[in-house]
A and B are shown apart, each in its own frame.
Chain A
Amino acid sequence: MLRFIAGRLIVGSSVGLTLSIVTFFLLNYVIDPAQAIAGEDALFEEIEQIREQYGFDRSITVRYFEWFSGIFQGDLGISYYWNKPVISLLIDRAPETITLALMSVSVTILISIPLGILAALNPNSLIDRIALGIAVTAQAVPNFWLGLIMILIFALAIPIFPVSGDKTLFHFVLPSIVLGASSVPAVMRLMRTGLLDVINADFIRTARSSGFYGWRLVFNHALRNALLPVVSVLAVQLGNKFGGSVITESVFAINGLGRLALESILGADIPTVQILVFVFAIIFLFFNLLADILNAYLDPRLRL
Chain B
Amino acid sequence: MSDLLNIQNLEISFQSNNKNLKTVENFSINLNEKESLGIVGESGSGKTLSMLALTRLLPKQASVSSGSIIFQNRNLDELDNKNFYKEISGKKISMIFQEPMTALNPVHTIGKQLLETYLYHNNVSVEKGIERALEILDAVKLTKYKQRMDQYPHQLSGGQRQRVMIALALINNPSLLIADEPTTALDVTVQKEIIQLISDLRETIGMALIFISHDLGVVSQISDNVVVMKNGEIVEKGKTLKVLEKPNHPYTQGLLDCLFKLEDEQKKNQIKDTPIIKVKEISKSYKLPAKIFKKPEIIYAVKKVSFDVKFGETIAIVGESGSGKSTVAKIINGLINKDEGKVEIKGQNIEDIEISDRAKIIQPVFQDPYSTLNPIHTIGYIVSRPLTINQNRSESEVKEEVIKILRLVGLSEEYYNRFPNQLSGGQRQRVAIARAIILKPQILICDEPTSALDVTIQSQILDLLNDLKTKLNITIILISHDISVVKYFSDRIIVMYNGEIIEMGNTNNVINIPKDKYTKRLMSSVFSLKK
Chain A residues within CB distance 8 Å of chain B: 7, 10, 201-203, 205-214, 220-221, 224-225, 298-301, 304
Contacts of A304 in B (CB 8 A): 291
CB distance from A207 to the nearest CB of B (A): 7
- Is the C-beta of B106 less than 8 angstroms from some C-beta in chain A? yes
- Cα of A220 to Cα of B97 in the assembled complex, Å: 21
Q: What residue in chain B is nearest A300 (Cβ atoms)?
A: B152
From B55, B89, B102, B168, A202 is in contact (CB under 8 Å) with B102
From residue 104 to 143 of chain B, which have CB atoms closer than 8 A to chain A?
104-108, 116-117, 120-121
Q: What residue in chain B is nearest A213 (Cβ atoms)?
A: B85
A202 touches B152 (CB 8 A): no
A225 touches B89 (CB 8 A): no
- Cα of A301 to Cα of B97 in the assembled complex, Å: 22
Given A202-B97, A206-B103, A212-B120 contact (CB < 8 Å): yes
Q: What residue in chain B is nearest A304 (Cβ atoms)?
A: B291
Given A203-B106, A206-B103, A224-B107, A211-B89 contact (CB < 8 Å): yes
Rank and list the top 3 A-B pairs by shortest CB-CB distance, nearest first: A210-B90, A211-B89, A211-B90
Q: What residue in chain A is nearest B99 (Cβ atoms)?
A: A202
Contacts of B104 in A (CB 8 A): 203, 206
B97 touches A206 (CB 8 A): yes
B168 touches A206 (CB 8 A): yes
Given A202-B97, A202-B102, A207-B105, A213-B292 contact (CB < 8 Å): no
Q: What residue in chain B is nearest A222 (Cβ atoms)?
A: B105
- Cα of A208 to Cα of B97 in the assembled complex, Å: 12
Count of residues in B whose CB is under 8 Å from the partner chain: 32
- Is the C-beta of B91 less than 8 angstroms from some C-beta in chain A? yes
Most buried by B among A202, A224, A225: A202
B152 touches A211 (CB 8 A): no
CB distance from B390 to the nearest CB of A (A): 43
CB distance from A192 to the nearest CB of B (A): 17
> 22 pairs across A/B with beta carbons < 8 Å?
A10-B292, A202-B99, A203-B103, A205-B57, A206-B103, A206-B165, A208-B89, A209-B57, A209-B90, A210-B89, A210-B94, A210-B117, A210-B120, A211-B85, A211-B91, A212-B85, A214-B82, A224-B107, A225-B105, A298-B107, A300-B107, A304-B291
- Cα of A43 to Cα of B351 in the assembled complex, Å: 73
- Is the C-beta of B154 less than 8 angstroms from some C-beta in chain A? yes
B105 touches A211 (CB 8 A): no
- Is the C-beta of B393 less than 8 angstroms from some C-beta in chain A? no
Contacts of B85 in A (CB 8 A): 208, 211-213
Q: What residue in chain B is nearest A202 (Cβ atoms)?
A: B102
Contacts of B57 in A (CB 8 A): 205, 208-209
From B55, B108, B291, A209 is in contact (CB under 8 Å) with B55
Contacts of A212 in B (CB 8 A): 85, 90, 120
- Cα of A203 to Cα of B169 in the assembled complex, Å: 13
- Is the C-beta of B377 less than 8 angstroms from some C-beta in chain A? no
Contacts of A205 in B (CB 8 A): 57, 97, 103
- Is the C-beta of B86 less than 8 angstroms from some C-beta in chain A? yes
Contacts of B99 in A (CB 8 A): 202
- Is the C-beta of B81 less than 8 angstroms from some C-beta in chain A? yes
From B121, B154, B168, B292, A7 is in contact (CB under 8 Å) with B292
- Is the C-beta of B433 less than 8 angstroms from some C-beta in chain A? no
B103 touches A202 (CB 8 A): yes
- Cα of A205 to Cα of B56 in the assembled complex, Å: 10
Given A202-B99, A208-B57, A301-B90 contact (CB < 8 Å): no
CB distance from B289 to the nearest CB of A (A): 9
- Cα of A7 to Cα of B89 in the assembled complex, Å: 44
CB distance from A10 to the nearest CB of B (A): 7
- Cα of A206 to Cα of B106 in the assembled complex, Å: 12
A209 touches B165 (CB 8 A): no
Contacts of B55 in A (CB 8 A): 209
A209 touches B102 (CB 8 A): no
Contacts of A202 in B (CB 8 A): 97, 99, 102-103
A209 touches B154 (CB 8 A): no
Q: What residue in chain A is nearest B155 (Cβ atoms)?
A: A300
From B88, B105, B168, A221 is in contact (CB under 8 Å) with B105
Contacts of A208 in B (CB 8 A): 57, 85, 89
Given A205-B57, A300-B152, A301-B154, A211-B121 contact (CB < 8 Å): yes
CB distance from A72 to the nearest CB of B (A): 24
Given A208-B89, A300-B154, A301-B106, A213-B82 contact (CB < 8 Å): yes
Contacts of B95 in A (CB 8 A): 209
Given A202-B99, A203-B102, A300-B154, A209-B107 contact (CB < 8 Å): no
Most buried by A among B81, B97, B165: B97
- Cα of A212 to Cα of B291 in the assembled complex, Å: 39
CB distance from B118 to the nearest CB of A (A): 10
From A206, A211, A299, B107 is in contact (CB under 8 Å) with A299
B120 touches A211 (CB 8 A): yes
- Cα of A214 to Cα of B84 in the assembled complex, Å: 13
Q: What residue in chain B is nearest A301 (Cβ atoms)?
A: B154
Q: What residue in chain B is nearest A10 (Cβ atoms)?
A: B292
Contacts of A211 in B (CB 8 A): 85-86, 88-91, 117, 120-121
From B81, B102, B121, B291, A201 is in contact (CB under 8 Å) with B102
Q: What residue in chain A is nearest B151 (Cβ atoms)?
A: A300
B106 touches A225 (CB 8 A): yes
From residue 64 to 97 of chain B, which have CB atoms closer than 8 A to chain A?
81-82, 85-86, 88-91, 94-95, 97
Q: What residue in chain B is nearest A7 (Cβ atoms)?
A: B292
CB distance from A95 to the nearest CB of B (A): 37
Most buried by A among B57, B89, B102, B107: B107
Most buried by B among A202, A208, A211: A211
Q: What residue in chain A is nearest B89 (Cβ atoms)?
A: A211
CB distance from B178 to the nearest CB of A (A): 9
Contacts of B103 in A (CB 8 A): 202-203, 205-206
CB distance from B157 to the nearest CB of A (A): 15
Contacts of A225 in B (CB 8 A): 105-107
A300 touches B89 (CB 8 A): no
Contacts of B152 in A (CB 8 A): 300-301
CB distance from B235 to the nearest CB of A (A): 28
Interface string of B484-524 (1 = CB under 8 A from A): 00000000000000000000000000000000000000000
Contacts of B88 in A (CB 8 A): 211
A213 touches B106 (CB 8 A): no
B89 touches A209 (CB 8 A): yes
Most buried by A among B85, B97, B99, B291: B85
- Cα of A221 to Cα of B88 in the assembled complex, Å: 19
CB distance from A104 to the nearest CB of B (A): 29
CB distance from B494 to the nearest CB of A (A): 35
CB distance from B55 to the nearest CB of A (A): 6
- Cα of A7 to Cα of B106 in the assembled complex, Å: 23
- Cα of A211 to Cα of B88 in the assembled complex, Å: 7
